[in-house]
Amino acid sequence: MNGVLLLLVCALGAALAWALRREWRARGRRADVRARAVRGHAAEEAAGARLVALGYTVIARHPEARYVFTVDGAPTEARLTADYLVTRHGQTLLVEVKTGGATRITRRTTRRQLLEYALHFAVDGVLLYDADADTVHTVTFPAAAPGPEGEADRGRPFAWGLALGLALGLLAWALAH
């Protein structure tokens, strides 16, 4: 009986240790998320003054744009909120403020966010403000170009082959007659 009781106490102790460890880790993750949010918010607040110091005129803070797309034929509205709308040298530009790993334009989420802004805000350009490095980057996306080599180029070899075949066929026919 003592052995069973000892085993039960050990099992309960292990379960309690597992639950405490899990809670500890979850609290740590929540604290990290909160710290990043606080840091990002502070950087975003400071960015306005920094943009003015760099020669930009702030038109709006948290400008919004909306657009409608369809999913299986059903319209769905999307709302976008950027960090700043600014002007400089006669251009209206959208600014997204980033810190940490999000400052890398190679990061998928950052790139997609800026692309969506470029497509749906009526602006002359999109800027990425790296608050950590205190640098402003102009981000330009190519016009919607089909495929990596261009869909328009995909049919060219076929067209040239068809034209060459037709020309050779006509030449052979002319020589035979």
CATH number at residue 116: 3.90.320.10
> How far, in Å, CA of 100 to CA of 157, rounded?
47
> How far, in Å, CA of 107 to CA of 115, rounded?
12
> How far, in Å, CA of 99 to CA of 117, rounded?
18
Q: Within a domain: residue 21?
A: no
pLDDT confidence bin for 167, thresholds 50/70/90: low
> How far, in Å, CA of 129 to CA of 103, rounded?
8
> How far, in Å, CA of 117 to CA of 121, rounded?
6
Over residues 95-99, mean pLDDT: 93
3-state SS assignment for residue 146: coil
Higher pLDDT: 11 or 50? It is 50
Q: Give the structural domain span for 73.
A: 50-141
Q: Within a domain: residue 100?
A: yes
Q: Within a domain: residue 120?
A: yes
Q: Within a domain: residue 170?
A: no
* pLDDT per position as a tens digit, 116-149: 999 999 999 999 999 999 999 999 988 755 555 5
Query: Which positions ≥6 away from 132 have C-beta within 8 Å?
Result: 43, 99, 100, 103
Q: What is the pLDDT of residue 8?
A: 73
Q: Between the CA atoms of 145, 150, 152 and 155, what dihedral angle is there, to the nearest 10 degrees?
A: -160
Please tell me the total count of domains within the chain.
Answer: 1
